Structure formats: C-alpha cells, structure tokens
A and B are shown apart, each in its own frame.
Chain A
Amino acid sequence: MSQITYREALNQALREELDRDERVFIMGEEVGYFGGAFKVTDGLLAVYGEKRIRDTPISELTIAGAGIGAAMGGLKPIIELMTINFGLLAMDQIVNNAAKIHYMFGGNAKVPMVIRAPQGAGHQLGAQHSQSLEAYFLHCPGLRVAVPATPADAKGLLKSCIRQEDPVIFLEHESLYGVRGEVPEGEYLVPFGKAKVAREGKDVSIISYSKCLYDAIAAADALENGGIDAEVIDIRMLNPLDIDTIIESVKKTGNAIVVYEGWRTGGAGAEIAAQIYEKAFDHLDAPVERVATLDTPMPYNARLERAALPSAAQIVKVAERLV
C-alpha cells in the first residue's frame, strides 16, 4: 500500500483499465494535451496516444452522445465532463438516451459507459461552478451513480464501474483531488453498490458520501469528546443504494443524520431519509435530520459560501440535540 492522492488514485485506475481492455478510451474537453482540467488524466496521452485519449471541442451534448454511440458500437468509453455544471448541457443525451436505451429497446442494446465529472463548492467559484447535482441523476432510472470519498474507493470503484454494463455517473468532489490516503497497488476492485461503515458507534448514525464524509468524521471525532459515540456510514454509491447497511446502523443507534452537499430540498438525503422512515420508523428515537447546502445559488464571498455549505460544526450541533 502506498499513500497517494485521490487524483493519483483515479489516474492509476484509468491506466490499469486502459491496459486491461483495448476497448476502453477516454474522451472529453482537455483530457489530452492539457492533462485534464483537474489533471486526472495527466500523462495518459503520451502513453496511449490520441486515438484513446481524445480531446474534444466544447460540445458537452455531443461528447456524451458520441460516448453513447461508441458504447453501442462495442467500445467502453470513459467520458470526462470538465465539471458537472457543464454537464447540464449533456442532460438530454444522458437522460433521454443513455438511461433509456437498454429499456426502450427491450434489452436489445446497452450503453456500457462511465461519465466522470468533478463537482462541488468550496473555492469561491460562484453560482455556476459550485453545484453538486447527484440528485438529478439519482432521480433517473437507468443510471448508476458513484460518489466515492476516499482515494482507495476512487480507484476501486472507478475500476468496477468501467467493467460493468450500465451507464454510470461518477462524481468526484473538486476538493478531494489533493486528499491523500492508503491505496492498494495494482488490481483493486470495490464492490458495486456497497456502503461502508467508516467509523463504528452506537448513539447516532451519520450517513454521508463524497466530501461530506470528511465533515461527518470530523464531527464524530468532536462528538466523542463530549461523550457521544457516532457511527459514520460512507454510502459510496447512490445507485445502487446499499440501504441495508444504512438501516442496520439506524436500528442500532436510533438516530440518523444525513449529510450531503446538494441543496437541502429534493437532495439525495431526502430520498435516504424517506427510505429510513419506510424501513426503520419504529427504531427511530427522533426524526431523521438533514445537514445540507442552503437552498440558494452559491455566493462568491468566502464567508457567505462557508455559511451556505454543510459543516462538521452543524453536524455536531444537530447530533447534540438528538442524543
């Protein structure tokens, strides 16, 4: 095992899958000569050439659509959308084609494609560059949605996603690229659709994913000092959602806080809370709480931005009220 960054872990996964399967190729804005807007594809062009590491014009709709067509033609495309904010231009192809082709053609066609996209706030990038849009994709049947938090999961989950047959939206929080962690070298696969207990506890379940996992863990550490023993669940994938692991935890603790960076209203946390009510209502000691981003476009000002986003301090406050 070695300590590498989330960015390097993704790069490793891409290299290994490019080596493993000739059908795998990468396509997107700035993935080649620039090395990726966030340097995730750095160095790949020199090794794999322009055919497999393909720079595209700024045409998100057609990048996604061409990925779908290439997948239907027998390839395994990995599409990089520079950020999920620009991915909104590709929504028609993602929702009307990628998600539906297998179904509406009665199982006669499939779209084995991974769409990677950075997302999230925290760098004062303003309203149009700070969104977390996982709920949009979670809402649509036919799409798988991955939201890894740790470097090891980034690698192992990306490899698993590339090897399966459904279209996957693979969302990487922009603040995580520099995060370091232990990552197994070589072949390492994270099982598809399995949550993980990131920290065991008995008083309250803090359920989270992507960057918010780190806020959840920081909150759990702080709560420990105050005598509250929090369990932290890292969901890792929103579709398939490993609800069993979440329910098991809630049954044990009797309290649930769902933490996510999407807007509070209609976010992924709302769905998780609803499923907890459906499956573990009698085990709850209090209503499920949500800690999420305020329902406003993201402001530029640093102080306002911090106040809009979920934080460890907010989680601590909510947990103290619950327990």
Chain B
Amino acid sequence: MRLPIQPVFLWTDILIDLLVVCTVIFIVYGIRKGHFRAIVRQIGKRPMAVVAFILLLCYLFVGLLDSFHFRLQLPSDQPGKETQEYGPDVLSALDFLVTPLRTHVEKTYSAPLAKVGYTKETVEDKAGVKHRIYPPLLYPGGHILGTDKVGNDVLYLSLKAIRTGLVVGSLTTLMMLPFAVLLGISAGYFKGWVDDLIAYVYTTLSSVPGVLLIAATVLMLQMYMDTHAGDFNSSAERADVRLFFLCLILGATGWIGLCRLLRGETLKISTLEYVEAARALGVGHCQIIFRHILPNVMHIILISAVLDFSGLVLAEAVLSYVGIGVDPSMISWGNMINSARLEMAREPIVWWSLTAAFVMMVGLVLSVNILSDAVRDALDPRLKER
C-alpha cells in the first residue's frame, strides 16, 4: 500500500521544523523555571497585546500549514489499479485545504466580489451578434479580494505570502543567533586579542551598507544559479534555495547589532563578584559562560530577536521590490506589491492586491511590534525601576 501523498522536504521546511522544536523546548523550559511569568503578566495587562498575540498565532498557524509540502498521487487511468506516479506540483497542506481558492482562476483582473470581468470584451451571443460587454466571471462573486493580472485569487496569494514573510523573519534570526551569541559573549569574556579580532570583523562588515552587501551577494548567487541551472529539480526548489540564501545573507548582516550589545553586557557581567567567585573556585570558561553569563543576557537576546523580526518582514518587501529579494516566482508581499504597483495608473484602478498585501503585512508587523513592547517592558530591568 503506497501513501496517497509523497512528502517533500524543502530546505526551509526542515529549518522551520527545527525552529519549532527549539521554540517548544525553550518555552517548556521557560515555563518550568517560571521565566515567562513576567511576560505573561505584562501581556495580560494590555488588551491590545492579547489581541496582537492571538493575531500572531493565526499567522503562525497558516505559516506552519504552508510549510508541510508534498506531492499528490496522480489519479489512476486504469480503474482498480494504483498508479506509482506522483504529480509534478509540490503542494502544501494549506494549498490542499484551500483548493477552491487555488484552482478558481479567472482570465485576468476582477474586483473583489465582482460578478463580471474587469475589462470589456467582445462576446458573440447565440444569434451570432457581437456585443461589447463586461464578460461574466467563471466564478462570479467567488473572489472575496478579487484576482490579480493572471487571474489568481488575491486572498490565496496573501495567505501564501504569510509563509514567506515568517520564514524571512524567523530563519534569519535562527541563523544569526549562534554567531551573535557566541562571538559577542566571547569578545566580552575573553577580552584581549579575541575582542580585537571580533570587533574588527564586525566593524568591517557593518561598514558595508547593508542593502549593497545584500545586493552584491544576491547578484552573485543569482549568477551562480543561472550558470548551474541543472542542479535544481523544480522551480519550487530553486526558489526555496534562494529564499534560504536570502535569510543567510540577511543573517550575516544582522548579527552585528546583537553581537555588540552582548559584548558590552558581558564586559559588565564578567567583572561582577559572582563570576569572579566562580573563577576563584576553578570553574572552567565554558561553564562560566553557559551557567553564569548566558542566563543573564538572555533577556537581551529575546528582546532583540523579537525586535529584528518585524524589521526583517518589512525588509523582505523592499528587497523584493528592488529585485534582490525572494525569487520572482515565489509568492510574497513584496512581489505582490511589485506587480501591482504599475496598475495604479489604470482606470479604474486596481487597488485590491496592493491593499491586501499592505494590510496583511501591517497585521503581522504591528502585532509583533506591540508584543515586543510588552516583552521589553517585562524583561528590561531599567524600565522596571521607573
């Protein structure tokens, strides 16, 4: 008996699964030790933060559904016999759940909930007389947010774009955290030439304007992928590899801020009495770092991870507009905005795809920002004193 589906693991899927496992472990650990009580209390105090939290959970739910990819088994051409073939399209669980949205494709633009097409067409009636009318849609009233240039449902596109936004925001953080934490803490703890070297590396990297470094790297990557086009099995895989590298590059430019903060904080902490006491007792460097320093800079790591997230989601849209973001074939808010931008000049204007992309983006970024405010107020001891 063969499975009716064949799971497909894209690179970013695997990393997302890893991230989910890490987060769950972190949360369980935190709840056991009672670290999250302050955060939960802060969020509970603010109705707006509660709403933001629920909204964020919805986004996460859609994003996770969209991160499980598979190929469907093809329908058998001989009844009673199972085929061994799987379809060529890589679908996600979300695609499967919203199949009507995905498959109800119109010819071109249509306004939200419209019953007729966007442009007039010449249609022949039964008697053979030509009329110039708005042609009825294939699925009248079926597109809550209208359709885009090639007739795809805008609601479907906006839902699919959630995963891209979340991946850019979260995977980048996942990739930069180890660097930032390791380098920042060792620079502050070991001082001397280690500190000099690490400070040199991050000063050099941060001197290059971020956008230009990203542009240069993405251009190089694109060139590499063009010359090695044979290495990729499907366009989805190709787009996924590009997304992965985009996260990597954003991470390479993004770790510097946190690294600097951690270096400063570790410099302060490593002169405190309890660290000196540990050193006097003969505790090793590793143990001092993991037992005494890391837990005391955890709040900085958490705050900056949440703060960076929203910036990254916004950056994705801008980078995609510039042409150095995600693959043009990948559905993302940046690509939606980019393709809809020129349609503002049309009459009547095509406003729905732009609006949908902006509203979805604001929903995610605003809820993360509101939550991050609550988290910061809960964890930053300096703010507590006031």
Do the two chains belong together in a single complex?
Answer: no
- Residue ranges of B at the interface with A (Cβ–Cβ < 8 Å): none
